[in-house]
Structure 1
Amino acid sequence: MTVDTARFATRAVHAARSRETAAARATPIYLTAGFEFDDFDHAADHFSTGTGFGYTRTGNPTVRAVERQLASLESGADAVLVASGQAAVSTALLSVVGAGDHIVSSTHIYEGTRGLFLDNLARLDIETTFVEDIADPDAWRAAIRPNTRALFAESLANARNDVLDVAAVSAIADEVAVPLIVDNTLATPSLLRPIEHGAAVVVHSASKFLAGHGSVLGGVIVDDGRFDAERAGHNAPHLVLPGRGGAPSVFSRHGGRARIAYARESVAPRFGASPSPLNAFLIGQGAETLSLRVERQSRNALEIARWLESQDAVESVDYAGLPSHPHHETAVRYLEGGFGSIFTFTLRGGLPAARRFVEDVRVFTHMTHIGDVRSLVLHPGTTSHAQRTDAERAVLGVGPGTLRLSIGIEDVTDLIADLSRVLESVRETVA
């Protein structure tokens, strides 16, 4: 019996089946849960070696194509795409730390990541020490313990724009043979590629700039592929010792890519962090225009930051592109082609002024997101940083009148006109 001679219900299920291939110019979307095996031995080989594709949770051609694309953009050896930026951070960390281990992190990080450290990883007996002055190499060095297994920081911090001296901190990580993991979401590889400066691992919320359109969630882990078993094996026994039942070690199978292979084989699929192939496709499509968008957004942001700094209603502007920012020289040293497009500024009128601002904008959108083609505004003190104490918010440069902007690709004249109109309204509120 063939499909054509089968009954109606059978034809409905099988008539569209085809093994034909075509050279699509755009990345094809393999929107399928599983993949057909050629024969008995093909299935056995896939499960014993991991080659090819069997089930989308463990690998998918669309996802793999985007992983190659993003690894290349970050100058990495390989990448693993996951379901969100938070999944990327979790997967990267759980690939290198375990119970009884210790992490040293910048205190200037996304609140969701900070909560992961303090609430979730702490329950797994993984402790974190936070470094406040990330520009002081000795502060990083002093926080390291014998059981430290990773250093973590953001290249361009949310929300005060603190800029990481990647080379200096990665050198400290190398001293103790542990990876420096850098969240490069805000800087993007268009402006900064931390692996080129010594970082071992880079993570992103791909939902932000990499996708750019604000339509999907995704995250990515990019690895330098330089894991050295001789130097770092004592800090990563899970990579160098035989597996269950005497299986070959991850390092013996993957060499310098052992760390990212472990993330792909053992962490991401087992914790269920795999992305949808459709989301992967949309992230890959967005990444194709990354440089164009970031160039426009950075140019807009610099002009807006300069304009805001000249306004009487504005108390301060924390933008790394301004000479007034304490990390401006570091930004000049590391960021190529712009200073990013996310920053904070503080209104003189405090909380009432901030409230009036977010409720009066028209071109800017009031929402919790960044890296969109649209310009966005948020009040950190009552949203992203609400769980921090007043003292902790002060350290991060977040006051009652502080607002975070994510600048989009609109015409900068229209953005400044919207800000000018709103600031005039704010002046009337606090007068």
Structure 2
Amino acid sequence: MSDTPNYGFDTLQIHAGARPDPATGARQTPIYQTTAYVFRDADHAAALFNLQEVGYIYSRLTNPTVAVLQERIATLEGGVGAVCCSSGHAAQIMALFPLMGPGCNVVASTRLYGGTVTQFSQTIKRFGWSAKFVDFDDLDALREAIDDNTRAVFGESIANPGGYVTDIRAVADVADAAGVPLIIDNTSATPYLCRPFEQGASLVVHSTTKYLTGNGTVTGGCVVDSGRFDWSASDKFPSLSAPEPAYHGLKFHETFGPLAYTFHGIAIGLRDLGMTMNPQAAHYTLMGIETLSLRMQRHVENAKQVAAWLEADPRVDYVTYAGLPSSPYAERAERCYPKGAGGLFTFAVKGGYEACVKLVNALEIFSHVANLGDARSLIIHSASTTHRQLTPEQQEAAGAGPNVVRVSIGIEDADDLIADLDQALTKATA
């Protein structure tokens, strides 16, 4: 497909990165289920290993099926390059890996997926890294949290679980002034509802497991680079600006320019961390992305109807959907996410923890699973599952209190979803 900026989103989600298979003419991207690739000759092999030529060496690093997915996601996000990996959690480590070092920190939003909070507050300590958690609505607190050892700011476009919408432009301005990149997890919004680079973000991560694949079949992650951050503007990012010993002193930013971060993600990140996406997972995700815009439109349409019904129900204390006119973030959602506030939100059930458990057990169409972004409607009680490892204070800060359930609204008939919630609420609050 020719590189043309005039193609619309619906066209790009089907065609970007894909070309007929040169060997067979196959129209759909084949699954290149292979470990290694034959070199033309010894010089070709040496050039690949020296990063003097782009090509395929070993499927831990690069694979033709995965390469199509990387190009497609980068195109949809408006980035210069992308690196796919084995999961969304892997993508977060991959995103931070070129930036961080012992003693460095990342400043993160308090409104994050519980697994991310655990990864940032506990696991990354083993690398000598640390995280500071700040309410991104308090920009002064964000500025104060960034210090000389900060290497990135991290937030979610539409936060899991509560559907909080981040003012990316405002946060990006703070990060820019401090000379550090803003990383946005765009999993819940997808590039159809939000393109973080257009609002000032430097890097984007995805759990491709969710809306991009859209069918609950495979796990995957992706890191996308805007190509706009100047890695050589300071000495904060030596992995990208200083000589790399493993490549005879090559300087990634000097050599690869806007693609420095992407090349580092493959040549160093995938090489040494090994968080590889398998080609079959890439194939499933490519097929899912072909209908992304259609699904997201329906997710948003259904979420608005279900959220409005829940808000009016006396058995419900509150609903957090930013797409409701009553939401404190309604104006921000309209301004920053004009196509909709996604399909993810929470609601509080009168009766607390026990009522939430009864509700989850009584539902028939909604599936009780630890996932989101499926074509099917999903529900989970975050306080007893995904956010269980957090303290009560952290649960409340993340919008996952004991009286709260998270719903990921699917693309079924909205009236059927409402009827299912109605009968389950009756049993839960009887």
Q: Structure 2 length normalisation: TM-score?
A: 0.92
Q: Secondary structure at the match of 2:50?
A: helix
Which residue of the partner structure matches residue 76 of structure 1?
79
Q: Distance in 1 between matches of 2:405 and 2:22?
A: 54
* Residue 96, structure 1, aligned to residue 92, structure 2: no
> What residue in structure 2 maps to residue 393 of structure 1?
395
Map Cα deviations across residues 256-291 of structure 1 (whole Å, 9 max, x no partner).
221222112101231110110110111111111111
Quick check: 1:223–1:260 contact (8 Å CA) kept in 2? Answer: yes
Q: Percent identity?
A: 42
Change (3 A) 1:229 1:90: closer
1:22 deviates by 2.1
1:15-414 superposed matches below 5 A: 21-49=23-51, 50-131=53-134, 133-231=135-233, 233-244=234-245, 246-414=248-416
Q: Distance in 2 between matches of 1:276 and 1:210?
A: 16
Q: Distance in 2 between matches of 1:393 and 1:61?
A: 41
CA gap of 1:414–1:229, structure 2 versus 1, over 3 A, is: closer
CA drift of 1:246 comes to 4.2
Gaps of 5+ in 1: 1-18
1:402-427 per-residue CA deviation (whole Å, 9 max, x = no partner) reads 11101111111111111111122223
> After the TM superposition, which of the residue ranges 290-299 and 242-251 deviates more from structure 2?
242-251
The AA in structure 2 aligned to 1:362 is: E
Q: Which runs of at least 4 in structure 1 moved beyond 6 Å after TM superposition?
A: none
Once residues 87 and 141 of structure 2 are traced to their aligned partners in structure 1, the CA distance between those partners, rounded to angstroms, is 31
Find the aligned partners of 2:231 and 2:60 in 1 and give their Cα distance.
28
Asked if the contact 2:163–2:321 (Cα under 8 Å) also holds between the matched residues in 1, the reply is yes
Q: What amino acid is aligned across from residue 37 of structure 1 in structure 2?
A: F
TM-score normalised to structure 1 length: 0.92
Equivalents in 1 of 2:220, 2:428: separation in Å? 37
Tell me which moved more, 215-224 or 37-46. Answer: 37-46
Displacement of 1:229 after TM fit?
4.1
Secondary structure (helix, strand or coil) at the match of 1:268 reads: helix
* SS across alignment from 1:142: helix
**2:300, 2:341 within 8 Å by CA — same for their partners in 1?**
yes
Please give the per-residue CA displacement for 1:74-114, whole angstroms capped at 9, x wherever unaligned. Answer: 11111001010000011001121111111111011112211
> Matches of 2:96 and 2:335 in 1, distance apart?
28
Structure 2 Cα separation of the partners of residues 427 and 126 of structure 1:
45
Q: Kindly indicate whether the alpha-carbon contact (under 8 Å) linking 1:177 and 1:235 is maintained by their aligned counterparts in 2.
A: no
Tell me whether 393-402 or 78-87 shows the greater mean CA deviation.
393-402
In 1: Cα distance, 2:40 partner to 2:267 partner: 23
Give me the whole-angstrom Cα distance separating, in 2, the residues matched to 1:41 and 1:263: 24
Amino acid at match of 1:55: Y
Q: 2:398 corresponds to which letter in structure 1?
A: L
Answer whether contact 2:114 2:398 (CA < 8 A) is retained.
Answer: no
Per the TM alignment, residue 20 of structure 1 is displaced from its structure 2 partner at its CA by 7.5
Write the distance in 2 (CA, Å) between the matches of 1:200 and 1:67.
Answer: 17
Q: Rate the CA distance shift 1:44–1:332 in 2: closer, same or farther, 3 A.
A: same
The structural deviation recorded for 1:226 is 1.5
Structure-2 change in CA distance of 1:20 and 1:398 (3 Å): closer
> RMSD of the alignment, in Å?
1.5
How many residues of Structure 1 are paired with residues of Structure 2 in the alignment?
Answer: 408
Counterpart code for 1:64: A
- Which one-letter code corresponds to 2:93 in the other structure? S
Matching of residue 419 in structure 1 with residue 415 in structure 2:
no
Q: Relative to structure 2, which stretch is displaced further, 389-398 or 21-30?
A: 389-398
SS at match of 1:152: strand
Give the structure 2 partner of residue 16 of structure 1.
Answer: none
SS in 1 for 2:58: coil
Q: Which has the larger radius of gyration?
A: 1
Residue 98 of structure 2 contacts residue 237 of structure 2 at CA under 8 Å; is this kept in 1? no
Residues 307 and 237 of structure 1: CA distance in aligned 2, closer, same or farther (over 3 Å)? same
Gaps of 5+ in 2: 1-20
Give the SS at the match of 1:315: strand
Query: What secondary structure, in the 3-state scheme, does the structure 2 residue paired with 1:181 have?
Result: strand
Q: Tell me, in whole angstroms, the C-alpha distance in 1 between the residues paired with 2:394 and 2:86.
A: 30
> Counterpart amino acid of 2:61?
T
State the alpha-carbon separation in 2 of the partners of residues 210 and 127 from structure 1: 30
Q: 1:397–1:230: structure 2 CA closer, same or farther, 3 Å change rule?
A: closer
